[in-house]
């Protein structure tokens, strides 16, 4: 504490809060257009989107999963616990999420 204003940090926060609605809204619009369009099969598109979301969630850093003072991901925590390398843990989790919504696989 003390010292002068943290101008670089303020600029970073302003950039985040300014760009998030436009970037997030653009991504949401693009996904909605893909799902509503006839160009791609809806079931496969939603399964791929679910796989992408699963991969992102598996790799997000959580404070409570890491050692003190560091962050850890779900894949990084469960992979070694299951005897798998982190990459294999992410691949298995992503495949499971992607196949979950496919009726032919019987996992619905």
Extended strands (E) in the chain: none
| Residue 50: CB atoms within 10 Å | 18
The whole-number average pLDDT for the span 84-104 is 65
The answer, yes or no, to whether residue 46 has pLDDT greater than 50, is yes
**Which residues pair with residue 62 across a beta bridge?**
72
Choose between 59 and 8: higher pLDDT. 8
Confidence of residue 50 (pLDDT cuts 50, 70, 90): confident
Confidence of residue 108 (pLDDT cuts 50, 70, 90): very low
Half-sphere exposure of 61 (CA within 13 A, CB side): 6
CB 6 within 8 A of CB 14: no
The answer, yes or no, to whether residue 25 has pLDDT greater than 90, is yes
Return the pLDDT at 66.
Answer: 82
DSSP 56-73: HHHHS-BGGGSSTTS-B-
The pTM of this model reads 0.61
């Amino acid at each position: 504490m003390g010292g002068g204003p943290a101008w670089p940090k303020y600029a970073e926060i302003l950039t985040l809060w300014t760009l998030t609605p436009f970037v997030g809204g653009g991504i949401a619009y693009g996904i909605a257009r893909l799902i509503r369009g006839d160009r791609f099969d809806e079931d496969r598109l939603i399964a791929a989107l679910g796989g992408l979301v699963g991969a992102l969630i598996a790799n997000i850093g959580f404070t409570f999963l890491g050692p003190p003072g560091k962050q850890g991901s779900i894949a990084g925590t469960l992979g070694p616990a299951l005897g798998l390398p982190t990459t294999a843990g992410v691949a298995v989790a992503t495949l499971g999420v992607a196949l979950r919504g496919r009726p032919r696989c019987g996992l619905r």
